[in-house]
Amino acid sequence: MYQLSQDALAYIDSCAEELIALEKRLCQIPAPSRREQKRAEFCKEWLEKAGAKGVYIDEAWNVVFPVHAEGSQQLTLFTAHMDTVFPDMEPMPMEERDGRLYCPGAGDDTASVATLLLLARYLITRNIQPEKGFLLVCNSCEESEGNLAGIRQIMKDYAGRIQECYIFDGLYNQVVNWPLAVFKFKVTVKAEGGHAYLNFGNASAVACTAGMIHEIYQMKIPEGCKSSYNVGVWSGGEVPNGIAQHSEFLVEMRSQLNENLEILRQNFLQIVKKYQDQGRWEIQVEPIGSLPGKEGVDPVVQGRIDEKVREILEHYCEGKTIFRSGAGDINIPMSMGVPGISLCAYKVEGVHTREEYIELDTLQTALTVNMTVMLSCLE
Ligand SMILES: [Zn+2]
């Protein structure tokens, strides 16, 4: 395993209080997806004060710090997302209690941004020039509203030049190395309706969506990998004595394999078509989001990254590392054949709730792990 130098360890030690202060400062800068401007400006200024040259904010509001990256076709990307899942544009309540920092977004993914900034300063102050070049990015738009616009912009601007990517995001001891392919649809049904008694037998929008949803839940999961589907939202009708004229639902499908997701998608559309063909209802299907799954990633390189990160995590954290599938920034590089991993080494609970907190004494561990991961890429 890559061993940190005495100098790196001393640097990490010297950052203990600053890391917590920086985390708190960042937490207090509102950054809903697509409105990360203030946090982005803070990160850029922080980096510049630390001596960074060439930092810029791109059109997606990513803060990009290229390190010896010019002309390189073999860049390593390190990234942590600035945005939070909540829409609040006022600083959110923050409280330190029992060694924990409570604040929505504290762990997802603000603390990772704080570690990334401190890693950047280490590279700057030690004048480390990675031979193949690094890209350090505080990225935007990871949460659902953002539709991964930040990482998409990076992969577009550095098309074909990124060789590996390390995403500092997730849950303690868990890594995501297999992004899920995702499809989301909204189905809207309009029907004739009428009086529940006098017009009994008229087409009902609720009966239609109920039938479709029932059939969706009969769909078989294609063999070969884990997949899932879910109708998470369903509404319709207005009054008990009126035949429903309107009903709608949202359905989401996920799979580890693009081709299996495609089977589910086709089966779902078949069900909708069956109801459309009956001509009793006006049915609309609208795609409301999709994520590409893993495609063309070299399994040998991926295996090497997995093993390296597992070793580092198991050295510094408690327990075994769990490898799992997930959806997020990792989807975009890995759908383009770039091997990558998403990891987190601080303890966080209540992600995507207003009760979210991190265990402050694990922040140093995360800084150590992230530093080890980053510096191991110099070799
Ligand atoms: Zn999140």
Q: Give distance in angstroms: CA of 306 to centre of ligand 1.
A: 22
Among residues 272, 291, 310, the one where a domain terminates is 291
Q: Give distance in angstroms: CA of 174 to centre of ligand 1.
A: 14
**What domain range includes position 110?**
6-179+293-376
CATH number reported for the structural domain that contains residue 161 in this entry: 3.40.630.10
Q: How many domains would you assign to the chain?
A: 2
**278 and 174 part of one domain:** no
Q: Which residues of 81-96 are buried (b: 16+ CB within 10 A; e: fewer)?
A: bbbbbbeeeeebebee
Specify the pTM: 0.91
| All residues with CB under 5 Å from ion ligand 1 | 108
pLDDT tens string, the chain, 379 residues long: the values are: 999 999 999 999 999 999 999 999 999 999 999 999 999 999 999 999 999 999 999 999 999 999 999 999 999 999 999 999 999 999 999 999 999 999 999 999 999 999 999 999 999 999 999 999 999 999 999 997 788 999 999 999 999 999 999 999 999 999 999 999 999 999 999 999 999 999 999 999 999 999 999 999 999 999 999 999 999 999 999 999 999 999 999 999 999 999 999 999 999 999 999 999 999 999 999 999 899 999 999 999 999 999 999 999 999 999 999 999 999 999 999 999 999 999 999 999 999 999 999 999 999 999 999 999 999 999 8
Q: Give distance in angstroms: CA of 4 to centre of ligand 1.
A: 30
**126 and 41 part of one domain:** yes
- Whether residue 1 lies inside any domain: the answer is no
Q: How far apart are CA 375 and CA 379, in angstroms?
A: 8
Q: Give distance in angstroms: CA of 80 to centre of ligand 1.
A: 11
Q: Give distance in angstroms: CA of 355 to centre of ligand 1.
A: 14
**61 and 94 part of one domain:** yes
Q: Give distance in angstroms: CA of 371 to centre of ligand 1.
A: 22
Among residues 291, 311, 328, the one where a domain terminates is 291
pLDDT at 379: 84
CATH number reported for the structural domain that contains residue 191 in this entry: 3.30.70.360
**104 and 227 part of one domain:** no
Q: Are strands 322-326 and 174-179 parallel, antiparallel or unpaired?
A: parallel
* Contact (CB, 8 A) for 287 and 251: no
Q: Give distance in angstroms: CA of 108 to centre of ligand 1.
A: 5
